[in-house]
Structure 1
């Protein structure tokens, strides 16, 4: 089976992130699930529904790869809309049914990820992923959508070291962030040194890189999930390539969508 020592840690963080969101929405009245959370009109129900749908897709990729492959072909016919359509379908469910289904799906995905043989990759809409990489991606998405929900509901958002998973993907996808915007990926190395909420330093890239990014790990995660404008975070760049990267960094697949708006302009 896959390397459980690494996977266990990521799945533990995924469970904690999911349970936090679960606690925020479990006591909401039905009209609370209709609270709008994004400029595009996604409600709390859309956010939870999207997470549930992605869990189901991830589970299918592991347990029913042929069925998942057919789903990829279907998605290819509407690459810009199939995610919104799935979220809309899930959001139409009664809140108690959606919540119960999401809980069941989380447990099923956790179990499925632990069965993947060591070294085997899981098919996905982008490049195939290891179980640990897929779990890390689920942490990133849950972290980002949880932030949307908490902000819309006016809830305090705890800063935890789980944001490191988001930062890790944001750093790893530097080249993709350029390519998805039609830019050539730069060859200049960038050293990233971020400070986590517990005071730990999270670092990527060569120590002698000619350019650097420093600052708050939590804020970099907000940049990487495109939840904040670069002017509103405690993240700093040294060098032109690093400075530009901060304006386009993204930890998720697909098109970047509209650029974040400055807090003063909201």
Structure 2
């Protein structure tokens, strides 16, 4: 049984960092475009508030969760955008709603019975996995906000959760892109922000990915193009993975164009 307390503390810290970044936003900052076309800084926070709400439903009222999902799947290509727009509000309204939703979700997840799987978009996960996924998404959308506002974020040890999730979703990345799931394992060796080494996968694996933990997290959340990152792939499976990696559930995300690409080359928002 996983102790949720440390995970929830890291989710709270990641959320607090993003909260501090947007709290001082004026109307112009709130409306500033982010790398996701059509999404402002406000849209990014609205999306997190909505997905926190959906995660709370998954933990407390599965019927309501499935009902909400059923209402959305009539527009599978647009429901994420539509939800962000529906939840968008001025900061004086949205920030308190987001903060209250975070607290509600944390309490709900601590009350999930051991062993219970929570529904999510196209998958199921434990309460611990749900918290890890919320850390990943908060960090990823926080990167969009930081990019929009010109904020340089300091990498923290919380990246380990995202790196772990990214390594665990290797097979999903292949299947989501219509590729056969690899039978080979991939060893991932990453230099953490404090200089230590994080490893995932069997030590004897021939296929390997090595590099910075920050760059790996930017890759698997599709916040940077592979060409802009210092990651090395050894082996055909590892090489293909770096083209399609995604730490999030659902269909393949469009990813990001290389930095400096012509305007319009960057595709849209990745799924939750």
Q: 1:11 aligns with which of 1, 8, 19?
A: 8
Q: 1:180 to 1:245 in 2, by over 3 A?
A: same
**Could you tell me how far apart the structure 1 residues matched to 2:63 and 2:160 are?**
33
Partner of 2:25 in structure 1? 28
Partner of 1:241 in structure 2? 237
Partner of 1:89 in structure 2? 86
CA-CA distance at 1:258 after TM superposition: 2.5
1:1-266 map, 5 Å: 3=1, 5=3, 7-91=4-88, 93-265=89-261
Q: Which deviates more, 31-40 or 54-63?
A: 31-40
Unaligned runs of 5+ in 1: none
Unaligned runs of 5+ in 2: 263-272
Runs in 1 of length 4+ with deviation above 2 angstroms? 254-259
CA-CA distance at 1:124 after TM superposition: 1.6
Q: Which deviates more, 64-73 or 243-252?
A: 64-73
Tell me the SS of whatever aligns to 1:265: coil
- Contact 1:4–1:114 (8 Å) recurs in 2: no
CA-CA distance at 1:192 after TM superposition: 0.8
Q: 1:248 to 1:4 in 2, by over 3 A?
A: closer
Tell me the SS of whatever aligns to 1:198: coil
- Contact 2:146–2:153 (8 Å) recurs in 1: yes
With normalisation by structure 1, the TM-score equals: 0.95
Q: Which deviates more, 231-240 or 16-25?
A: 231-240
Tell me the SS of whatever aligns to 1:214: strand
CA-CA distance at 1:257 after TM superposition: 3.2
With normalisation by structure 2, the TM-score equals: 0.93
Aligned residue pairs: how many? Answer: 262
- Contact 1:45–1:90 (8 Å) recurs in 2: no
**Could you tell me how far apart the structure 2 residues matched to 1:181 and 1:12 are?**
34
1:115-160 deviations in Å (ceiling 9; x for gaps):
0111111122222211100000000000000011011101111111
**Could you tell me how far apart the structure 2 residues matched to 1:4 and 1:223 are?**
27
CA-CA distance at 1:255 after TM superposition: 2.7
**Could you tell me how far apart the structure 2 residues matched to 1:259 and 1:57 are?**
24
Q: 1:4 to 1:258 in 2, by over 3 A?
A: closer
- Contact 2:35–2:147 (8 Å) recurs in 1: no
CA-CA distance at 1:31 after TM superposition: 2.1
1:178-203 deviations in Å (ceiling 9; x for gaps):
11111111111111111110122111
Q: Which deviates more, 18-27 or 64-73?
A: 64-73
